[in-house]
Amino acid sequence: MNEMSKIETTLKDWETDQEVRWCPGCGDYAILKAVQRTLPQLGADPKNTVFVSGIGCSSRFPYYMESYGFHTIHGRAPAFATGIKLANPDLDVWLVTGDGDGLSIGGNHMMHVLRRNVNMQIMLFNNEIYGLTKGQYSPTSREHTRTPSTPLGSVDHPANPCAFALGSGARFVGRGIDVSKNLPDVLTAAHAHQGAAFIEIFQNCIVYNKDVFDDFAKPKGAEQQQLWLSHGEPMLFGSEKTGGVKGLKLNTQAFAFEVVDVADGDWQAAGVQVHDATNRMLAHMLVELPFGEFPMPLGVIYDDPAPTYEAAVIAEKERASAGKDTSIARLLAKGQTWTVSGTASDPV
Amino acid sequence: MATQTAEAQPDTQVQDSMVVRFAGDSGDGMQLTGGQFTLSTALAGNDLATFPDFPAEIRAPQGTLFGVSAFQINFGSRQINTAGDAPDVLVAMNPAALKVNLASLKPGGLIIADSGAFTKRNLEKAHYEENPLEDGSLAKFDLLAFDISERTIEAVKPFGLGNKDALRSKNMWTLGLALWMFDRPREPLHDWLKAKFKSKPEIAEANIAALDAGHAYGETAELSGPLKQVHMPPRPVEPGLYRTITGAESVSLGLVAGAQLAELPMFFGGYPITPASAILHHLARLKEFDVTTFQAEDEIAAICAAIGASYAGQLGVTSSSGPGIALKTEAMGLGIMVELPLVIVNSQRGGPSTGLPTKTEQSDLYQAVYGRNGDAPMPVIAARSPADAFDVAIEACRIATQYMTPVMLLTDGYIANAAEPWKVPDPSAYEPFPATFLEELPEGEEFLPYKRDEKGARPWVKPGTPGLMHRVGGIEKHETTGNIDYSPANHQRMTELRRDKVANIVVPDQEVSWGEDTGDLVVVGWGSTYGPIKQAVNRWIEKGAKVSHVHVRHIWPLPQNLGKLLSGFKHVLMPEMNTGQFKTLLRDQFLIDAESLTKTSGQPFQIAELEEAIGRCLNEKCGGKIGTNDDQLPNPVGVEK
C-alpha cells in the first residue's frame, strides 16, 4: 500500500456499471465484495488504485472495480505491475491472479515480483482447477484429481502457493477463504505491509471443483479445522463446544509442531506457541503443516517488511543523476571527437 | 625476419582507401586493437566503416580455427560505405588467424604475421602441415613475418611483468606498428591507456612501451622490407563536430533524444541477448536523462514491464533479437489492443531459433510486419547504418507516442556492432513532439477511453488522474467505451480501426537515394545493405548505366509514393540478407515484378557481388542468390576448403 491521503468512499463507489460474469455461486463474488468492503475502510482512493490481472476467471476482477484496471496477458501480470510501480510508485497496486495464472504459466514472474519486493498486494485465488478453460487440473490440484485432461487422475504433486511465496523471498504471506468474514482483516494487513504482500485465497469453483476445500472451509466443523493466526497471540483452534480447545506446541526436540489439548483455557500450561509473524522459520513451518493431522493455518502467517524494489531503483537513479550534466547536446558529443572546418565537398 | 615481396607490388601510397583486417585468437585483444585503430583513423579525419567479427564462444580454445576473432576496417579519404570487400592488409596473430582469413586477402596484399605464434602446436591446431610462413605458399602476397611475441616481451621487460602478462601487450605492439603504417599520432592512445589503467600505472606504462616499440619497428622494417608508410589525407566532409558511433550507441542516444522530444521519462525493459544487450548497457549509464532501466527475469517480463510503464505514463521501450522478439510477441498484441506507446528494438541476427547469435541477417521482417496472432498491425521502421539509427530511433518514439501504438525498430548485428564517423547532430534541430495526457474532460462530456482523434489515436490517461478511471485489457472492447464487447459488428469495426490507424500513419515520401527517378533498374534495399548497394549502384552509374538506388526506412506502413516510384523503372532488384521477405511485401502491396537477390550466409553483401548482380540484371536476368563466400568476413571458420 501507499501512504496516500485517505478519502471517504462506500462499497458502492467501488462497483462498476459492468455486469459481473462469473458463474452463479462462484467464490469470486465473495472475494469481490470483501475487497469492495475493505477499500473504504482503508480510505483508499479510486483514482490512485490500480487492479492488474492476468488471464483466467479471477483476472476479470479489474472490470468490476471502479478504479484504474489493466487486464493483461496470461501469467504476466506481475511484470506489468512492476513496470507500473517503477513508473509511478505512488499508485496503489493490487494484483489479481489464480493458481494457473500465477503458479503455472506465470510462476516465474511470481517468483521475481516477490524476491524483488515490489510494493503491491498480490491476491492469488486458489481453486485448484482451471475454470475458464473448462476444468483441467492445475498446479495446485491434489494428486488423483480427475479432469478432462487427467481422466485417470492427475499424477503430479501439487505446488503449495504460500511455501512457494516464502521460498521466493516474500516478506508478507497471508491466507484467507473466499467466504470468510476474516478475509478483509487479511487484506487490510496486506495493504498495510510495505512491499509485496502475497495472499492465498481459497476460492470455491462451484462448477469444476465444487467444495474441494470443504474439509476446512465448511462452516460446520470449521473451528476444529481452521487455525487463525494473529501476531502475539497463542496458536489456538477449536472450542469447548466443538470438541475441545487445542493448540500448536513446538516440539523443540523433533523441531516439529504437535497438536495439544488446552484445558480450562490455560494455553501456557499446555505449552502452546505464540505466533510471531516476523519469524521467518516459524512461517516456513506453518505453511508446510500437513492438513488433516493439523488444522489449516490462516490469517497473517508472515509479515516482516524489507526495503522495496521501486524505492531502491528510484534512490539509485537519484544518486546516479546527482550533479550530472543533463544536456543532451553534450551527451551526443561525448567521447573523443574531432572538428572538421572549411567548406564541404563530398566526392564519392 | 622472414619477408618476401610479391611480384606485382601495388602502389599503396596512392590509394584513397584501404582495408585492414586484424585477426587473432579470441584472447589476443583484436577487437580492442581494432576499436582503438578505428578511433585514431576517425581522429585523422578519414571516413571509415568497421566490421567486428567474433565467435559466439566467449573463450574458444586457444589457437583453434573457430576461436579466431577478427576486426576489419575500411577507411579512406573518400566516402566509405562498407567495411570493404577484400583486405589490403591482414594482421595475423597466429596460424589459425592466417588460415581463416587468407582467402580474402587481395593478391599482392600485405600479411603481417607474428612468427612467434607459429609454433608446432599452433600449426597443428590450425591444421597446417607445414609452416606457411616458410614453405613459400604465400608467394602471391607481401609477407612480413617476425616474432611480435618476443619483441613485445623485450619491450615490456623493464616493467617486471611475467611472460604471460607481457604477452597481453602484443596487441598494443601491433597497434603501434599499424599507427606507424598510417602515420597516426600515438598521443591519443597514450592518454587512453593511462586512463584505462589508472589504478595500475605499471600496466599502462608497459602497454605504452609496447605501442611505442611497435611504432619504432615500423621505421626499421620500412628500410628492409615490403612495409610502406601510407599517407591518407582526410576525407573532405561537411564542417562540424564528429565522433565515431556504433549502432547500439546510436539507437540508445536516439531513444534518449526521442523520449526528451516527447517530453517523457523513458522506461527501458530488457533481457540480455546477443547482439542487443549493448543497448541495455548504454542506457543503464544514462539514468540522469530520466531513464529507468530494468533487467527483467525474461524477455516477456521485459516487454510487459515496459507496457506497464507506458500505461502509467512513461515511454516504454524494450529491445531484443529474434528469439527474444518471438517471446515478446503476445505482449505486442496486447500493446496493439490497449493502444499504448511502446518502442521495440530488434537487432536482428541469423535465425531461426538460436541460429547465428553473432552474425547478421535481415530475416525478421515477416516477424516484424506479420508475426502476431490476430490482425495486429504495427508500424515497422529500419535503420540503414549506425549513424542513421539515431534518427530512426527518434522517429520510432514519435510514431509510438503520436499514434498510441507499439512500433518496431529493426537494426541488425552488423549495424549494432559496426562503427562509423558521425556528425554530431544539433538536438535543437529536431522538432519536439510532446506527448499529451488527457487530464480532464470538457464540461458535460462523457469519458470515452477509446474515442479517437483525427490520427485515430485514443487518449492517454495516466492512472492517478481524478474522474477518468477506466479499465483496459486484451479482450475485444467497445469502440468508444472500451468495455468488453464481443459483438460481431464491434469486432469487425475495431479490427478495421486498428488497421486504418496504422495504415494512415504519415510517413515521408520515398526519395531516390542515388541516381535518377526513372531508368532501367532500381535496386531497392532496406536496413544495413545501404552501404554496399550504394557503392555498387554508383559504380554502374559511373559506367553510364541507368541504375538507381532506393532505400526504404518505413517498412510498414510504406511510403505512399513508393509503388509509383518503382513503376518508373524497367526492373526492380531487391538484395536482402534473407530469402526475399521485403520483396514479397512489395510485390503484394504494389503488384510489381520485383526480383530478389538473396544472401543468407550470415555475411553482409559485398560491393563486388552486388555490382555483378546488377550487371546481370541489366543484361540478362535479374535476381538469384549469392552463395557462401569463403573470402569474406565472417568466415565459416573451421571448414576445410
* Shortest Cα–Cα distance, A308 to chain B (Å): 15
Model pLDDT, residue B418: 87
Query: Are A313 and B292 in contact (CB < 8 Å)?
Result: yes
Encode pLDDT of B512-564 as tens digits: 999 999 999 999 999 999 999 999 999 999 999 999 999 999 999 999 999 99
A4 touches chain B (CB under 8 A): no
Chain A residues touching B240 at Cβ < 8 A? 339-340
Alpha-carbon span B473 to B71, nearest angstrom = 48
Model pLDDT, residue B629: 63
Model pLDDT, residue A344: 43
Encode pLDDT of A218-231 as tens digits: 999 999 999 999 99
* Shortest Cα–Cα distance, B26 to chain A (Å): 26
Model pLDDT, residue B8: 39
Pairing, β B17-25 against β B68-76 = antiparallel
Model pLDDT, residue B297: 98
Model pLDDT, residue B39: 85
A345 touches chain B (CB under 8 A): yes
* C-alpha cell read off for A274: 505464540
What angle, rounded to 10 degrees, do the helices at B187-196 and B30-43 form? 130
Mutation site, B288, B437, B539, interface A, largest A CB count within 10 A: B288
Alpha-carbon span B48 to B420, nearest angstrom = 6
Global pTM value: 0.91
- DSSP H helices, B56-200, are 95-102, 120-125, 148-156, 163-167, 170-181, 187-196
Query: Are B309 and A47 in contact (CB < 8 Å)?
Result: no
User: Counting one residue from A and one from B, how many pairs have CB atoms under 8 Å apart?
Assistant: 217
Q: Which amino acid, residue B583?
A: K
A152 touches chain B (CB under 8 A): no
Q: CB burial class (10 A; 0-12, 13-18, 19+) of residue B440? A: exposed
- What percent of chain A shows pLDDT beyond 90? 93
Encode pLDDT of A15-48 as tens digits: 999 999 999 999 999 999 999 999 999 999 999 9
Encode pLDDT of A276-285 as tens digits: 999 999 999 9
Model pLDDT, residue B222: 67
Model pLDDT, residue A269: 97
Encode pLDDT of B79-127 as tens digits: 888 888 889 999 999 999 999 999 889 989 999 999 999 999 999 999 9
Task: Name which of A83, A337, A346 is nearest B309 (Cβ-Cβ).
Answer: A83
Cα A123 → chain centroid: 4
- First CA to last CA across chain A, in angstroms? 63
Reported ipTM: 0.97
Chain A residues touching B237 at Cβ < 8 A? 340, 344, 346
> Which residues, 6 or more positions from B148, have their beta carbon under 8 angstroms from its beta carbon?
B93, B114, B115, B116, B117, B170, B173, B174, B214
pLDDT at A188 over 80: yes
Alpha-carbon span A109 to A130, nearest angstrom = 19
B313 touches chain A (CB under 8 A): yes
DSSP category for residue A345: -
Interface of B with A in 243-302 (CB under 8 A): 243-244, 253, 256-257, 260, 265, 267, 269, 286-289, 292, 294, 296-298, 300-302
Mean pLDDT, rounded, of chain A: 95
Residue A337 binned pLDDT confidence (cut-offs 50, 70, 90): confident
**Could you say which residues of chain B have pLDDT below 70?**
1-15, 222-225, 629-641
Model pLDDT, residue B631: 58
